[in-house]
Structure 1
Amino acid sequence: MDEVRAQERLVEWFGDVCQDVHGRLAALTDGEPASYIPELANVDPDRFAIATVAVNGQPTLLGDHEHRFTIQSISKLLLYGLALETHGRDQVLRRAGVAPTGDPFNAIELDDALHRAPNPMVNSGAIAITDMVDGDSFEERADVVLALFERYLGHRPDVDDAVCASEYSTGHRNRAIGYLLLDQGIIGDRVEETLDLYFMQCSILITTADLAMIGATIANNGVHPVTGERVVGPKVARDMLTVALTCGMYDYAGEWAYTVGIPAKSGVGGGIVGMIPGVGGIAVFSPRLDEHGNSVRGIRVFEELSQEFDLHVFDADQPWNP
């Protein structure tokens, strides 16, 4: 059997395993949708989808893969890549470091010694990064963000206005973080505009298939698997993967790196995207969350796939590289 056919059989096997995992975990009802954003509490808790996209663009789609949900904190990873592309590593590191934190994602804290947020995947770091989006008005900056998503998705995304309004009306903690960043000289004085932009980016609507395409693009050194467009440079993609592995799963990141070992980012909307460099993206959507804000079913899916296929970044015998 030649190498191409072996890879095709492996993809078929992967799809079969994903289907089995989806069927079994659909009965798992642990966790609850996010309630601190009122609009998110109204979602159907039993929605469940798994999607994968290989770096050659080949998809595997299971369950509610066409259902749209808000990207929430997964947007932080994409905005981080945009900031690196636009301003360079040094400027970004002045705003947010790369240190994992065991504190919750919405903790009101900064790196006091270096006067920056601990990392770009917690809210303080994400708001600092969003402040770096160029433009002379909210409208111009929003267009930059939506154009970024369009390059990843292959289509212009919509924003869930109801979720955005819900985030705006309850986002007092993020406002506190924003003004703390201003006080420390980490962001400029257009705090409310940057917060509006942050609420908007979190409210962008995607499907699980979209999310897998995002993961595949980053895993493909920043090149979109279908359009062939370079979305970010290879070094930026590497930095995105690194921060995703160490900081992408909220304060569960250490356990995730130990048990799953796949660069990933989660969001309280119920999505998780994983990226296997040179192979593709894996996405799961299920809005029942654990105490860290991660999808309960999503974590189980990744645990089982990582074990079945030796996907941990430090596994020596990954079947994807025979």
Structure 2
Amino acid sequence: MYCQSNDELLELVNEARKVAKDGKVADYIPALGKANPGDLAVAIHYPDGTCLSAGDIERKITLQSISKVISLALVLMDRGYEHVFHHVGMEPTGDPFNSIAKLETMDVAKPLNPMINAGALAVTHLIIGSNVAERLQRLLKFIQTMAGNPDIGYCQEVAQSEFETAFLNRALCYFLKEHGIIKEDVEQLLDLYTKQCAIEMNCLDLARIGLVFAMDGVDPDSKAQVIPKDVARICKTFMVTCGMYNASGEFAIKIGIPAKSGVSGGIMGAVPRKFGIGVFGPALDEKGNSIAGIKFLEQLSRNYSLSMF
């Protein structure tokens, strides 16, 4: 038996919210620094259409690094397994998500996985389209389908804020371009990537996307296969091994569900064949994950034996 009521969920949220004071919002991106560190919202979306929610659910989240797993799914569908993994690897790094260190020490300067910034930039580079607007629209349409919400867009303020401060990502792009992983104009790629990261939605939308991954790519309402089963499997595997930055191993041991976090404080969870989870708590721990969100997921996993291990 899993969580059955909003009141049950609210009890977990109120308990988890207590640790938010120990975290810090991502103020190195000026627009994200405006978030209220005490906010916490969660949603759980079940296959039968039931959706439970609690907390500051009206708050919108920019996806940030959560977008990495969604763009990976789109690019795998467009380009195929061999082409994508020619540009990016499959291994965890153990390094911070924005590190350049491994690129400099490897024989082939290929990002180790799609969940670090270098790997995500390589993946976004592969989104098909003739210009930034067309490529962004393809990604947005895909996300709108998964969320069941045609009104999802991106936050221009956050995108601009990230574009203007993306000095390290520019360095990663130029390094990858030097080694032939990226072949387009760096500013054009960063324009697309920062808008991708600034795609915004609420926890209800996020939980529904998580449910699509949880159900092996099947839309819960139409029953259409919106992501091929094998692509969903690959994405969930990356969520387990690399989805929570360099805290992924600890997260797998303590919580044990496929999940992807972002520095806005969002976490998308996909409990295999059970439900999707959307979390928003902008106060982050030292690894860049929502501190209250992690606490909530620990409680949820423990209470309902959700670990896949």
Same fold (TM over 0.5): yes
Look up the match of 1:199.
Answer: 194
> Cα gap change, 1:280/1:101 in structure 2, threshold over 3 Å: closer, same or farther?
same
After superposition, what is the alpha-carbon deviation per residue over 1:122-161, rounded to whole angstroms, capped at 9, x for unaligned? Answer: 0000000000001111121111111111111222312111
- 2:34 corresponds, among 36, 39, 42, to 42
**Are 2:9 and 2:53, in contact at CA under 8 Å, matched by a contact in 1?**
no
Structure 2 residue aligned with 1:313: 308
SS of structure 2 residue aligned to 1:124: helix
Question: Deviations along 1:83-130, whole A, 9 cap, x unmatched?
Answer: 111111111111111111111000014272343111000000000000
The 3-state SS of whatever aligns with 2:43 is strand
Query: Match for 2:73 among 81, 87, 98?
Result: 81
Q: What residue number does 1:53 align with?
A: 45
Q: Deviations over 1:45-99 (max 9, x none)?
A: 2221110001222111111122112111000000011111111111111111111
Q: Pairwise CA RMSD of aligned residues? A: 1.4
Match of 1:25 in 2: 16
Confirm whether residue 93 of structure 1 aligns to residue 88 of structure 2: no
Deviates more, 1:20-29 or 1:215-224: 20-29
Q: 1:242 aligns with which of 237, 244, 255?
A: 237
Corresponding residue to 1:106 among 76, 95, 98: 98
Instruction: With the length of structure 2 as denominator, give the TM-score of the two structures.
Output: 0.95
Q: Work out the percentage of aligned pairs sharing the same amino acid.
A: 40
Q: Which residue of 1 aligns with 2:261?
A: 266
- 1:111-122 to 2 correspondences below 5 Å: 112-122=106-116
- Give, in whole Å, the separation in 2 of the partners of 1:286 and 1:224: 27
Aligned length: 305
Shift of 1:13: 4.2
Corresponding residue of 2:122: 128
Q: Is the 8 A contact 2:58 2:202 kept in 1?
A: yes
Partners of 1:77 and 1:14 lie apart in 2 by 29
Cross-structure match for 1:146: 140
State the 1:26 CA deviation: 2.5
Of 241-250 and 25-34, more deviation after overlay is shown by 25-34
Name the counterpart of 2:210. 215
C-alpha contact 1:149 1:156 (8 A) present in aligned 2: no
- Partner of 1:38, secondary structure, is coil
Partner residue in 1 for 2:298: 303
Which structure 1 residue ranges, 5 or more long, are not aligned? 1-9, 315-322
| Bigger mean CA offset, 164-173 vs 225-234 | 225-234
Cα 1:14–1:100 change in 2 (3 A) is farther
Determine helix, strand or coil for the equivalent of 1:272. strand
1:11 CA drift (Å): 4.3
Name the SS of the counterpart of 2:44 in structure 1. strand
Contact 1:67 1:207 in 2 (8 A): yes
Asked if 1:186 is matched to 2:186, the reply is no
Letter in 1 for 2:123: I
Higher mean C-alpha deviation, range 40-49 or range 262-271: 40-49
2:22 match: secondary structure: coil
